[in-house]
């Protein structure tokens, strides 16, 4: 009788232990035990052009249990300056990095610093695209689309038009491809390209004014957000007939200038999805120890005018809602 009670007690104890273990497993199913720290290094991180990108980062981070640290930066002087920041973040314990590479890694400095570190590039693949996963809108297609928008606005002929181009950071491969795409789109249009200026050549509005006085243009083309803002500021300060502006951007200022008619057409990449997908790609490398080889995730973009600025598709990209 005592033996039976003993065995029954053992059985009950075992059943209770199984139930407790199963309940614990269900409650904690899918939970990760620790957060992973991810450093995000982009040019001038406080600029509101990164607003949608940061929202995408946070959405991905919530899903993957990541702690996102968007490092405070100003405009990078060169790649060496950016690499020193990346190196510091890795020394401080970052488990992975998301980087907008501000130039070509010609001497292998960046590749050496992040060797063995889970890394995803945003917006610019650099010349070392064979080494890193990249999430970006197709830069050649962005440039080509800006050119097509200009052609459409002029009735498919640019004969008699003079064009000034603000080409952005030409140390970035993505910016060179944007310029190439634009040039290809308008090469037989009859337009006269008066000047093509990188961000180093333009610098600020006063420099642009000096170029303008020598060779004013009927159209300005800006191939990145900062240059589009600069061109918009410049146009507002002009008296008399103002040039039309075609550009790329996603900041509050570029949207405002589009709404007010300063910008004729704006190409807007889906920056929210770019940020989100950067985190998801990095999660494959950190959480699941998977490296699917080098991939290039293509982000979509929209051409936006005053007419479709408040359409649903446009608002979903410009003003993403996080569920």
Q: Assess if residue 8 is contained within a domain.
A: no
Residue found under tokens 């973009």:
301
**Which pLDDT score, from 0 to 100, does residue 320 have?**
84
In angstroms, what CA-CA distances link 320 with 67, 131, 250, 274, 305?
21, 31, 12, 12, 18
pLDDT given at position 11: 56
| 134-165: pLDDT as tens digits | 999 999 999 999 999 999 999 888 999 999 99
**How far is Cα 152 from Cα 210, in angstroms, rounded to an integer?**
30
CA neighbours within 13 Å on the CB side: how many for 26?
Answer: 5
pLDDT digits (tens, 9 = 90+) for 97-114: 999 999 988 889 999 999
Nearest 5°: phi and psi at 319?
Answer: -130, 70
Whether residue 237 is found in the same domain as residue 157: yes
- 158 and 262 co-located in one domain: yes
- DSSP for 250-306 reads -SHHHHHHHHTTS-SEEEEE-HHHHHHHHHHHHHHHHTS-----S-EEEEPEEEE-T
Nearest to 304 by CA among 271, 237, 253, 259: 259
pTM for this prediction: 0.86
Give me the pLDDT at residue 157, please: 85
Report how far apart, in Å, the C-alpha atoms of 153 and of each of 7, 49, 172, 233, 246 are: 88, 26, 29, 21, 10
CA atoms within 13 A on the CB side of 312: 0
Q: What is the mean pLDDT of residues 48-72?
A: 96
Phi, psi for 185 (deg, rounded to 5):
-65, -30
Q: Higher-confidence residue: 207 or 278?
A: 278
Same domain (yes/no): 41, 121:
yes
The helix (H) or strand (E) run that includes residue 193 is strand 192-198
**Confidence category of residue 13, pLDDT binned at 50, 70, 90:** low
**Do 132 and 156 belong together in one domain?**
no
81 and 130 together in one domain = yes
Pairwise CA distance, residues 71 & 275, whole Å: 14
Question: Do 77 and 168 fall within a single domain?
Answer: no
Report the alpha-carbon distance of residue 248 to residue 254 in Å, rounded: 8
d(CA 72, CA 70) in angstroms, rounded, equals 6
Q: Are residues 190 and 242 in the same domain?
A: yes
Q: What band does 65 get if pLDDT is binned at 50, 70 and 90?
A: very high
Residues in the chain: 323
159 three-class SS: coil
Q: How far apart are CA 149 and CA 29, in angstroms?
A: 50
CB atoms within 10 A of CB 92: 11
Give the full edge-to-edge strand order of the sheet including 162-168: 192-198, 162-168, 219-222, 244-248, 265-269, 301-304
Q: Are residues 262 and 281 in the same domain?
A: no
Among residues 216, 228, 222, which one has the least CA distance to residue 257? 228
Assigned domain for 4 exists: no
Residue 321 lies in a domain: no
pLDDT of residue 296: 83
Range of the domain at 249: 139-269
- Pair 144, 165 in one domain: yes
Answer with the residue of higher pLDDT: 22 or 173.
173
Count of structural domains within the chain: 2
């Amino acid at each position: 009788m005592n033996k039976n009670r003993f065995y029954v007690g053992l059985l009950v104890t075992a059943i209770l232990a199984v139930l407790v273990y199963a309940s614990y497993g269900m409650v904690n199913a899918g939970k990760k035990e620790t957060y992973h720290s991810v450093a995000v290094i982009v040019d001038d991180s406080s600029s509101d052009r990164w607003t949608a990108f940061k929202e995408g980062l946070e959405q991905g981070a919530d899903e993957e249990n990541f702690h996102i640290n968007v490092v405070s930066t100003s405009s990078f002087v060169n790649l060496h300056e950016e690499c020193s920041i990346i190196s510091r973040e890795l020394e401080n314990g970052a488990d992975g990095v998301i980087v907008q590479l501000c130039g070509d890694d010609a001497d292998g400095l960046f590749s050496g610093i992040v060797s063995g570190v889970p890394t995803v590039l945003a917006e610019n693949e650099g010349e070392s695209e064979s080494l890193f996963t990249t999430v970006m809108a197709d830069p050649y297609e962005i440039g080509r689309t800006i050119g097509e928008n200009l052609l459409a606005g002029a009735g498919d002929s640019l004969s008699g038009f003079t064009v000034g181009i603000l080409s952005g950071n030409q140390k970035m491969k993505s910016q060179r491809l944007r310029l190439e795409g634009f040039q290809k789109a308008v090469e037989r249009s009859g337009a006269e390209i008066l000047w093509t200026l990188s961000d180093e050549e333009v610098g600020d509005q006063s420099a642009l004014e000096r170029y303008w006085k020598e060779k004013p243009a009927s159209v300005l083309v800006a191939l990145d957000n900062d240059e589009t803002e600069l061109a918009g500021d410049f146009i507002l300060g002009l008296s008399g007939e103002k040039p039309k502006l075609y550009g790329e951007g996603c900041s509050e200022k570029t949207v405002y200038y589009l709404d007010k008619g300063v910008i004729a057409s704006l190409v807007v990449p889906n920056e929210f999805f770019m940020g989100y997908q950067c985190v998801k790609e990095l999660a494959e490398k950190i959480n699941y120890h998977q490296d699917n080889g080098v991939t290039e995730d293509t982000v979509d973009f929209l051409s936006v005018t005053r007419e479709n600025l408040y359409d649903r598709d446009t608002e979903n990209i410009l003003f993403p809602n996080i569920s």
